[in-house]
Structures are given as structure tokens and as C-alpha cells.
Structure 1
Amino acid sequence: MSRPSVADLRAKGQPPGLKERVNEEHWAGRLYMRDLSPYASTIFVRWGVPPNPITYLMILAGVGAGLLLTLGGVLSAVGALLLVQLYLLLDCSDGEVARYTGRTSVAGIYLDRIGHYLAEIALLVGLGIRAQGAWEAGGWVIAGMAAALGAALIKVETDNVVVARAKAGLPDQVSEEAARPRSRGLGVARRLAAATRFHRIIQAVELSLLVVVAAVIDAARGDLLATQVLVVGCVVVAALQTVLHLVSVLVSRRLE
């Protein structure tokens, strides 16, 4: 059984440029998780755990965070936050283990993408149930599901660029230049939208942090207003970003 050191794992599992993948590497990964993940990845390699079971654990952590949110209260929000951090750690580790052991696969990439879909959907639906105050039908549950649908559509729009290029016989990699809008005005608008980072409130890490803040406010007020305001914000951002991201793809050279 291989017994790599953390340094060995970091050297082979985190190739040069990994942290610089702005469109793929989350800020939390660059800031701290890529420094922590080699310790977990080293343990997985020493125990002989293949990459795909790590990805399954990642999926369980993400979906579990969404389920935990439905329980209400501050403790469940903190628990969901911790599960999302575990989700992020495992998301880093599965790729590191795959690269170190040479067991990268198309199935692994596919599972990783499915895991991202499921985690964000679970968190947003769980947030809607939390805002409703119970596991029962209601407007807040529908709002959470609407936000989840928007988050999923945004990912579909991104993934379908690769699908469309593959069907057209084009390389799947898109340069940064090709991603820029043809129009200067649209380019400025895109940069402004990117600078505000408003779209991140429907992403797992940022959303889990905001849920804790909302939970603390709700506990102080004795109601669910802060959580409900957060749900409304998520619906608005998901709707806007679904349209804006689609326009961004169509007015760029990503499909050429």
C-alpha cells in the first residue's frame, strides 16, 4: 500500500496552475482548502480509497447539509455550514487522489459535476423548507425550488457549451478571450456583474455562510424574516443570473 507524505501528495495532486483556474477553482479553495486538502488526500491514498467513493462522500455531505437546514434553528445552520466545508474538502480531495494515483476518469468528472448540482439544489430547497418553518407545502418551499431550478439551469448553460462544441467537433477548452462578449458595452457590463459577485449567494459555500447569519438574526427576532429575505434574494439572483449567463454565452465566441 502506498504511503505518500503530504508533500508528495501536494506535489503530484496539485499541479502548477491549479489554484489559478479562476473559473473553476473556488475562492475558498485558493484561500485555505487547497492547503488543508492534501492532509485528507494523503489519508485516503494510504487507506487505498479510490477517487469515486470520495466523490460519493462529497455528494452525501452536500445533500446532508441541505437536509440539515430543514430542521431550523442556529445549530442546524452551523451544522450545515460545517457539512458544506466537508463537501468542499472532499471536492478537492477526490481530484487530488485521482491525479496522484493516476485514476482520473470520465466517470469521475461526471460524478463530480452531478455532486455540484445536487449540493446546490439540496441547499436551496432546504432553505425554502426552512423559511416555510415546516415540512409542508407552501410558498416558501416553492420559492426555494425555483431558486434551485435557476441554479441548476445556470450549470446546464455552462455545461452545454462543452456539449455543443463537442457535437460541432470543436475543442472543449474555451480561451478567456473567446469568453468575452463581442460588444465592448456588454464586456463592461459583464465585468461589472462579475465584480459585484452577486451570483455567489446561490453557491454552496457563500449560501451556507449567509444562512448562519440569517439564523442568528431570526433567533434574535423570534421569527423567520431574515431567512425568508434570503430566500427572496436567492430567487431574484437565480432568475437574473440564468438570463444574464445565457446572454453572456450567446454574445461571446464560446460557441465558435
Structure 2
Amino acid sequence: MMASAPALAELREVCQPNAKMQSRNGEHWAGRLYMRRISLRATRQLVRTRVTPDALTWSMVVCGIASGFALLIPNLAGALLAALLFQLFLFFDCVDGEVARWKGQNSAAGIYLDRLGAYLADAALMVGAGIRAAHGSSALWVSAGLTAALGIVLLKASTDLVDVARARRGLPVADDEAARPRSAGIASARRLASAFKIHRITNGIEASIVLLAAAVIDTIINGQGATHVAVLAIAVITWVMVIAHLTSILSSSRLR
């Protein structure tokens, strides 16, 4: 006989701890805004089954990579499917951790797969966007997509490498306070960038929405100009963020 579903309040206390939900880097804004409400109800049913957190993480990875392939479908349909797949990516990214916390099945392998999935999904989306932009146009747009994908991977890696460096030095995980730049000028620049939220376009969820909006515009004007602008903008902003992020890391206490 299947066990009864736990109460939502009890589940929320265990699966969505305040420390994670309130952390600046621990939770995506879309998770706090709406997805955690959806995921918790799904988790309430999933914890009664034999489904494993790793199986859910693999589902996340598949959805993320599939979003890049979806962009190869011409016209609005491909961009819409890519955006929907990235919403599913976010959904599975929420439920895998929630199920793991409730069942006590957290593992290093699960964390590794989760991070790898984020790399692959965001990169796949931009490669797909580059190929989409090149359709009937210059093959240089493929290079623009690859450039954005490489920058996004480097951006994520520069964050993860902080944990690697600290672990090798025997230091604990850096907290939010350690991320504050020691330089007043860099701190001001960081606050300005944060106010405009321009860095969010380097995430697959936001990028898929931007590409969907571009596809809508292209459908109206019967062209590809909006997609070209979107791909180029994401590539440029990504590399500006790479330089800014590396500077921020080196000027903070994260490596000390």
C-alpha cells in the first residue's frame, strides 16, 4: 500500500529550507516566484514513489539539451518549444533536490550531474540559437552562438572553480558576505549591474524567453532580424559578464 502524502507545510520545511531559498546564489528568481509552488506539489506525490533524485536530474538534463535542438525547428514553434522545455528544466531542477532532501538521498554524484546539466543545457540552447540565426543567412551566426555558449560555460566554471580552489585549500564553502568585492569601485559597478539585472540573460531560462520574444517579432516582420540581435546581444553581454565576474571573484574574499 502506498504511503500517504506528507503535509505541504512539513514538506516545505524540509525540502525548501530558508537558508537555500533566501540565499542570493542559492535559488533562481523564477523558483521563488512560481516554480517552487508547483514543484512542491509534485514532490509531495513523488516522495511516495520509488523515483530517485538522480532519475529526476537526468530528466532535467534531457529537457535542457532538447531545448537547443528545439530551436532548429523553424518559425515560432521551435522557440516556443525551447522555452517550454527550459521551464521543464527548471521544474526538474527543483524537484530533484526536494526529493533528495526528503528521502535523505543527497549525493556527490547528484550534485555533479546537476551542475553538468546546467552547463550542457545553457550551452546547447545557445548553439541551437546560433544555428537558428544562420538559417538562410550567414554561417557566422553559428560562430556567434558558439561564442555565447563558450562564454556561458566559462562563466559557470569560474563560479564553480571557487569551490574547487577553496576545497583544495581546506577552506569552508564561501558565504554571501565573502562574495562582496573589497574594492569600492567594483562594488559600485556590481550594484549597478545588479540593479538592471542584465546578467540574467546569460541564464538559459531567461535566454529562452528572450529568444521566444525575438521569434514573435520575427514572425510579425517576416524576417530574422530580432533573432540576430538577440543572439549577438547574449554573446556580447555574456563575455562582458565573464570579464566582470572574474574581476569580482579576484577582488573579493572568496579565494582568501
Shorter-chain TM range is over 0.9
Report the count of equivalent residues.
254
What corresponds to 2:241 in structure 1? 241
SS class of match (1:57): helix
Q: C-alpha distance in 2, partners of 1:24/1:66?
A: 25
Identity %: 47
Q: How far did residue 3 of structure 1 move?
A: 3.5
Moved more, 35-44 or 53-62: 35-44
* Map of 2:227 onto structure 1: 227
Q: How big is each residue's C-alpha offset from its partner over 1:9-50, in whole Å with a ceiling of 9 and x where there is no partner?
A: 333212233321221200000001111101221232222101
The corresponding residue for 2:208 is: 208
Counterpart in the other structure of 2:168: 167
Match of 1:152 in 2: 153
CA RMSD of aligned residues (A): 1.5
Q: Distance in 1 between matches of 2:128 and 2:7?
A: 36
Aligned partners of 1:137 and 1:114: how far apart in 2?
A: 31
Aligned counterparts of 1:33 and 1:204: Cα–Cα separation in 2: 15
- Provide the TM-score with structure 1 as the length reference: 0.95
Instruction: From 62, 81, 84, give the equivalent of 1:82.
Output: 84
Secondary structure in structure 1 of the residue aligned to 2:73: coil
Q: Against the structure 1 CA distance between its residues 181 and 161, is the aligned structure 2 distance closer, same or farther, given a 3 Å change threshold?
A: same
Q: For the structure 1 residues 52 and 219, does the alpha-carbon distance in structure 2 shift closer, same or farther, using more than 3 Å as the test? A: same
Question: Is contact 2:199–2:241 with CA below 8 Å preserved after alignment?
Answer: yes
One-letter code aligned to 2:111? I
Map of 1:1-256 to 2, 5 A cutoff?
1-5=2-6, 7=8, 8-133=10-135, 138-171=139-172, 173-256=173-256
How has the CA–CA distance of structure 1 residues 5 and 177 changed in structure 2, closer, same or farther, with 3 Å as cutoff? closer
Equivalent AA in structure 1 for residue 121 of structure 2? A
Cα separation, 2, equivalents of 1:10 and 1:4:
13
- After superposition, the Cα gap between the structure-2 partners of 1:78 and 1:41, relative to the gap in structure 1 and judged at 3 Å, is same
* 1:198-226: CA deviation from partner (whole Å, max 9, x where unpaired): 11112111111111110011111111110
Deviation at 1:176, TM superposition (A): 2.5
TM-score, normalised relative to structure 2:
0.95
Between 204-213 and 1-10, report the one with greater CA deviation.
1-10
In the TM superposition, structure 1's runs of 4+ consecutive aligned residues that sit over 4 Å from their partners are: none
AA partner of residue 216 (structure 2)? V
